Each structure stands twice: as C-alpha cells, then as structure tokens.
Amino acid sequence: MKFKRLWAMSKKEFLHIIRDMRSLTASVLIPITLLVLFGWALNFDVDKIETVICDLDHSYKSRDITSHIAQSRYFKVIAYAESTKEIEKHIMFGRAVLGITIPHNFEKMLAQGFSPVVGLIIDGSDSNKANIGRGYILAMMNTFSSEVFQEKMTETGIKKVKMPVEVRQRVLFNPELESKNYIVPGLIAVIMAVIAAMLTSLTIAREWERGSMEQLISTPIRGPELILGKLLPYVLIGYVDIAISMGMGIFVFKVPFHGSWLVFFIISTIFLIGALSMGLFISVVAKNQLVANQISMLLAFLPAFLLSGFVFSIANMPLPLQIVSRLFPATYYVKIVKGIFLKGIGWEILWYDMLLLVVYCLVLFLLATLKFKKRLG
C-alpha cells in the first residue's frame, strides 16, 4: 500500500463530497433533524394522565383524596363525573385514561372500621400508560390507607406505629428518572450507525453507474488503497456529526456527561470506521445506488433503532431476537455511549464491548476489500 495513491484517492473523494452539496448538507442536517424529532417527541415520562373522578360521598375524607389526585403532577383531572357510566363515556371517547369512583358513605365506613371499596376504571387500549397510572393510584391509596390507620391508632391512645418495612430509595446516574437522559445518548449511537452506512453505501455504486469505475480500474491503485481512500474523507464527516450530536445532547437537551472524552472519542472512531466499512461493503455488492441505499436502511437503521436496546429492552425480546441483536454492533455501541454519558465508566468495564467493535470493524473492512475486484463485470 503506497501513501501517494491512497492520498490521491482520498483527495478525489473529498473533492467529490465538497462538490456534492446536497449529500454534504444532508449529512449535517439528518443528525440535527433526528435529534430534534426523537429527542423531544420520544418521551417515556408518563405524567398528567387524563383522569375522571366520581365522588359520591362528598365528605372530608373523599375530598382529601380528590385534592391529592388533582394536585399531583402525575394526574390531570379533566372532569368530575356523577356516575360510573359518565366515566366510561369519557374513556370511550378517549378523553380519559383513568376513572376513580369513591362510594357513598366512604367516610362513615372508615369511621366504623370497615374497608370501603374505591373503584378504578382503566382504559386498557394504551397498556403502558394504563399500567403506570394504575401504579400511581395504588401507591397513593396505600399512602392514604396508612394515614387513616395511624389516625385510628392515635384515637385509641396508641402511639404512632412504625411500618414493619421502610423503603428508602436512592436512584443512581439519573436521579430525576428523565427519559431524555437515556434516549439522547442512545440516539447518538443510532444516528452514527445510520449516517455512516448511508454515506458510504453510495460511493462505489456511484462510480459504477457513472462509468468512472473503468478509469479507476485502469490506474495502478490497488483494492485496499481504493477502499481506504474512499473511507477516510467520510471519517472526517463522521467526526462532524459526532460533534453536532454531542453538542446538542449536552447543551440543548442538558444530558449530563460523566465519562472520559478520550474514551468516547476512541470507541466512537472504532464504531464509525466499522459502520463506514459496512456501507462500502454494501456499495461493492450492490453496484446500484438505489439498491445500496435500501440495503443500508435495512441493515443499519432498523437494527440500530429496534434491536440495539435504544428503545426496547433486549431482555424483553423473544430469545431468537435477543440472539440476532448480538450480531449488530449498534447493540454494543448504544450500551457503551449510555455507560459513558450517565455512569462515567471506563476501560475496566468497556473493554469487552470495545473488543467486539474492533472485531466488527476489521471484519467489515476486510470483507469490503476482498469483495472489491479490479475488473469489469
């Protein structure tokens, strides 16, 4: 491999990138667009759940419950119904997710030592929101029941009774449990996987379609020099995309960064070269820009978005999909980026995932090099 030929190939590809302003602009705008769309639109924080309350007792205790629900940030009381049928009507028309019914004689039954039944109607068509809302209500009712129990003990002359088990929680790495803090780092990994594969998936195919590949074949340049020469300019563009994504993640979305910049840069470089090599391999195999673009979307975007653990937990997937997810490098890179951002972990924990990325990078570069043949047909 001669540096002169490699430099000439890289210079040629770099000049083409500069002249093709549409592709260059797209490579910058796509990360920004994806971050804006998914960073703000994709939100797993469930609060302000639409709720309807039917208070049939209108007592001090029932009003205490309704006021606690109305003041909680987790619920948004949209109406006060007069019957359960009215609650069901709100849920049927999609105006509410939860409906709470406080029965007649609620306060009187509590005073007499009975356990009144509070009705909870849930819209199960949105199972995620329904389950979380049910959990909020049950937690609130358990707190209310504990307070009533303490009042009963005080009335009978017994001192305040401590609960048998006390839970003291401490949330690490994401104390506010904000979904953007784990969505945005994972989104950076998805963006790099998609952009890198899309950028290089068209390079070799474009040479074949435009007829310029015959001129390249007639030159003394070797296959590895051509592949590496086409790869290097896109590494620089990849660094620009990483900088844009990182900047927006930290300064726009306020995601904390606790790790090492050096570790992040080295691992991102490995993943970037591997993703670009996959795009080149696709381009060598397809020899057609349209086909290459479709294959890159199939092999880069869909696995990175659906199977990497970015959105859906891999542990909750069927076993065959769990095995398939391990075949895609985005799975490891998403884990690495989240760990560096939120946990600040370093080489002592990341070495295994980084080793797999190195193997992935080398294998794809070798495949692209071996598949490319300096001959027509």
Same domain, 188 and 86: no
Question: Is 16 among the domain residues?
Answer: no
Can you give the pLDDT at residue 18?
A: 83
pLDDT of residue 101: 95
DSSP calls for 263-325: HHHHHHHHHHHHHHHHHHHHHHHH-SHHHHHHHHIIIIIHIIIIISSSSS-GGGS-HHHHHHH
144 and 194 housed in the same domain = no
Same domain, 54 and 36: no
- Which stretches of the chain score pLDDT less than 70? 1, 159-163, 374-377
pLDDT of residue 374: 59
Task: Look at residue 96 and tell me if it is in a domain.
Answer: yes
Residues 59, 35, single domain; the answer is no
Whole-angstrom distance between the N-terminal and C-terminal Cα of the chain? Answer: 25
Residue 12 in any domain: the answer is no
Task: Determine the Cα–Cα distance for residues 38 and 322; give it in Å rounded to an integer.
Answer: 24
Range of the domain at 352: 21-43+178-371
Say if residue 27 is in the same domain as residue 129: no
pLDDT in tens, 188-228: 888 888 888 877 887 887 777 777 777 777 777 787 888 88
Number of domains comprising the chain: 2
**Predicted local distance difference test score (pLDDT) of residue 45:** 73
Residues 99 and 246 in one domain: no
Could you report the per-residue pLDDT of 227-249, keeping only the tens digit for each?
Answer: 888 888 899 899 999 999 999 99
For residues 35 and 97, state if they share a domain: no
Q: What is the pLDDT of residue 182?
A: 83
Q: Where are the alpha helices (DSSP H) in the chain?
A: 3-19, 21-41, 60-71, 84-92, 106-111, 127-155, 180-200, 203-210, 213-218, 223-247, 261-286, 289-296, 302, 319-325, 329-338, 347-371
Report the CATH number at residue 81.
3.40.1710.10
Q: Is residue 10 domain-resident?
A: no
**Residue owning tokens 């979904």:** 179
Statement to judge: residues 344 and 267 lie in one domain:
yes
